[in-house]
Structure 1
Amino acid sequence: MTAEREAVEPEVTGPSAAGPSPAGPEVLEPSGDGPEVLEPSGDGPGEDRPGEDAGVGRPSGLRNPVRAVRGLGAGTLVIEMLVLLLAIQPIRLVGGDLSGTAIWTIVALAVVAVLLSGMLARSWAWHAATVLQGLLLLASFLHWSLGVLGVIFALVWAYVLHVRRTILG
């Protein structure tokens, strides 16, 4: 039975042979003979490296805060695009007079929103998305319901910019 246990249990060598760390050993998939056991390096989330203040490198606690903020902005713009496109028919049926100019304006704003959602890695795209919110507010001259959507998404975009400023500094 001991021969079977030796075949099943991984052999621990190196600094971890003296005993497991307080966090416990990390077992990786075998690359040949058997699983290797590695000690935690202290680089994971929630673990401090000796001699460093907690949160100095990443005050937000996110692994990649720039990417997270970009995802928030892109997601907001994609939702705005969906709402704009899905609002065309209810506005036509319930809201009354929606001209062809208003419909093409909605489609154009939706296309711009999608294009900007993919370009948020560039700093100018954030400013362009802010201008997009202003253009949606100006579309209220074509139909009042576009002004309502403009106010809603301008407030949402202001919050996204606040979160961006808070996380990225």
Structure 2
Amino acid sequence: MSTPDPMKGFRGVMAGALLIEAIVVALALLVVHRTGGGLASWKGVLVGGIVLGLILTCGLLRFSWAMYVVIALQVSMLVSFFAVPELGVLGLIFGLVWTYLFWLRRDVAKRMAEGRLPSQQDS
């Protein structure tokens, strides 16, 4: 019997966070539609591109470099504050969420290396 991979479950948590973030950012399209010149404007394309990036990144989480893609998406949301302030605020909120998730990921990896996870204990 093989031991469960805790990082596999954690990737599921990160994928769920990305999907929730994509849904919330997609709701910003409604704001852009009303105030930013429509969905076909560059602001609408910016928000739509970030939503698409968030959704596509869910499938890339099995690769170690996907964390850099997540960070790049968060930074792009923060930088877009000057174009679409609502998106920048969401970038700040989800930036805090991802900071916590990366801290948890580091903690799980540390516990794995030390052999302190419940799945690594003898029953």
- Counterpart for residue 32 of structure 1: none
Structure 2, gaps ≥5 residues long: 111-123
1:78 alignment counterpart: 19
Could you tell me the TM-score, scaled by structure 2's length?
Answer: 0.79
Q: Which residue of 2 aligns with 1:125?
A: 66
Structure 2 CA distance for aligned equivalents of residues 101 and 151 of structure 1: 21
Cα 1:149–1:119 shift into 2, 3 Å = same
Note the alpha carbon deviations across 1:133-162, whole angstroms, 9 max, x for none. Answer: 000101111121111011011111111101
How many Å separate the matches in 1 of 2:93 and 2:70? 14
CA offsets per residue over residues 62-117 of structure 1, 9 Å max, x none? x4311111111111111111111122114543xx3356111101111111111111
Q: Detail structure 1 runs of 4+ shifted over 2 Å in the superposition.
A: 90-93, 96-99
State how 1:1-169 maps to structure 2 within 5 Å: 63-93=4-34, 96-98=35-37, 100-169=41-110
What is the SS of the residue equivalent to 1:136?
helix
CA 1:98 to 1:148, structure 2 compared with 1: closer, same or farther past 3 Å?
farther
Largest Rg, 1 or 2: 1
Identity of aligned residues (%): 32
Contact 1:91 1:145 in 2 (8 A): no
Higher RCO (C-alpha under 8 Å, 6+ residues apart): 2
Q: TM-score, normalised by structure 1?
A: 0.58
Distance 1:75 1:130 in 2: 16
* Bigger helix share: 2
